[in-house]
Amino acid sequence: MRELGGDQVTEAVAGCVAALRPAVARDWTEVTAGGLDWNCHETALHVADDLVAYAGNLAGRAQDRYVPFELKLDEGTDNSGLLQVIETTGALLAAAVRTAPRHVRAFHPYPFRSADRAGFAAMGIAEVLLHTHDMTQGLGLPYRPAEELAESVLAYLFPHVQPGPTPWRTLLWATGRGELPGRAPVTDWRWNNNLVIPAERLDLVGIRPAEARDLRLGGDGGFEWIEGGPYEGTRDAAGFLLKAYEGGVHRPEFGVFALVRREDGRAIGGIGFHSAPDDEGRVEIGYDLTVAARGHGYATEALRALADRAFARDGVRSLFATTEVANIASQAVLLRAGFSKVSEDDEGLAFELRKK
């Protein structure tokens, strides 16, 4: 799967325009867009409106709402002009994505009220792919985007959805636009930008399946790491995340997080859950830091933030962690974060933190 950026936004928009151009002479206001309540003209305008809104929020670093402006067509704009507007607003989003630093986040309401540049690129691409499908269905035109684009949209925005053998069909099914053998129809859906948990000096940035795959294959996962990173434990955890995603059991709120230092936007380690809580509300955690980041209290800070977030959720009653007998530093981190030692044997020590 590909990392999503400005080039992929441009590719999606070009595919949309090419698919719709053969029907520019038709009256789009008289044709319903697929299974939507909108006609094709309204749907095309919606695509352009979303593209420029995403560009505006990301470029303007909006934090609590959409930037207050509205896209309005000149009177008498025909379908060719409308396609030009889609091209232009797509170019604006592509430029905003290319120029935004990796760590910058801006407002989007679902589900955690922010998205980074990859998230905005993914949302823009999703709007283009899905609504081009809707419009071409109504207009009776052929359309099938690149499977790699659909695969990346799923891995960035639908981490809770098990990927299927054909990404485009899976994306259509996940958004209530088609069927997949063995899966119930989808009637209610929403995409899922990654969670960021703030700590005092760090942000715990949720790692998405697309980024986990890159980390597992030896890449940087889209993060800028300090010297020595990412450490082996983070790569291993990314592999477990990817396996859960491919098995359809990944729950992103109980996933893996990169520890990103707020002062410079650089990643220094990883932390996360081994899985979702069990029936008793117990969930195991793990963490690691690059060597250069150790000894500054970052692990304790991150562990406290993760624990607070976990205990704020219903159904989580205790956190559990293990460490080797010789790893005195890790044991000290757990004790400083409020954990208590609950067992010890030749293989290691176990610690637990219970919800108060």
We report the CATH number of the domain holding residue 350 as 3.40.630.30
For residues 123 and 214, membership in a common domain is answered with: no
Candidates 219, 198, 183; CA nearest to 305 is 198
Candidates 334, 308, 314, 315; CA nearest to 323 is 334
User: Could you give the CA distance from residue 225 to residue 223 in angstroms, rounded to a whole number?
Assistant: 6
Q: Is residue 189 part of a domain?
A: no
Question: Residue 307, Cβ neighbours under 10 Å: how many?
Answer: 18
Please report, in tens digits, the pLDDT of each residue of the chain (356 residues total): 567 999 999 999 999 999 999 999 999 999 999 999 999 999 999 999 999 999 999 999 999 999 999 999 999 999 999 999 999 999 999 999 999 998 899 999 989 999 999 999 999 999 999 999 999 999 999 999 999 999 999 999 999 999 988 999 999 999 999 999 999 999 999 999 999 999 999 999 999 999 999 999 999 999 999 999 898 999 999 999 999 999 999 999 999 999 999 999 999 999 999 999 999 999 999 999 999 999 999 999 999 999 999 999 989 999 999 999 999 999 999 999 999 999 998 889 999 999 98
Start-end of H helices in 175-293: 209-216, 232-246
Domain span holding position 283: 196-354
Contact assessment for residue 166 and residue 184, using Cβ atoms and an 8 Å cutoff: no
Contact assessment for residue 206 and residue 255, using Cβ atoms and an 8 Å cutoff: yes
Whole-angstrom CA distances from 201 to 174, 197, 257, 260, 290 are 37, 11, 15, 9, 16
Q: Is residue 185 part of a domain?
A: no
For residues 141 and 76, membership in a common domain is answered with: yes
Report the phi/psi class of residue 87: left, alpha or beta, with left for phi > 0 and alpha for psi in -120 to 50: alpha
Q: Is residue 289 part of a domain?
A: yes
pTM of this prediction?
0.95
User: Could you give the CA distance from residue 175 to residue 177 in angstroms, rounded to a whole number?
Assistant: 6
Per-residue pLDDT at 37: 96
For residues 223 and 347, membership in a common domain is answered with: yes
Per-residue pLDDT at 1: 58
Per-residue pLDDT at 2: 66
Interaxial angle between packed helices 328-336 and 298-311, expressed in degrees from 0 to 180 and rounded to the nearest 10: 50
Let me know the angle formed at the C-alpha of 205 by 202 and 211, rounded to the nearest 5 degrees: 140
Structurally, the chain folds into a number of domains equal to 2
For residues 99 and 168, membership in a common domain is answered with: yes
For residues 210 and 83, membership in a common domain is answered with: no
Q: Is residue 190 part of a domain?
A: no
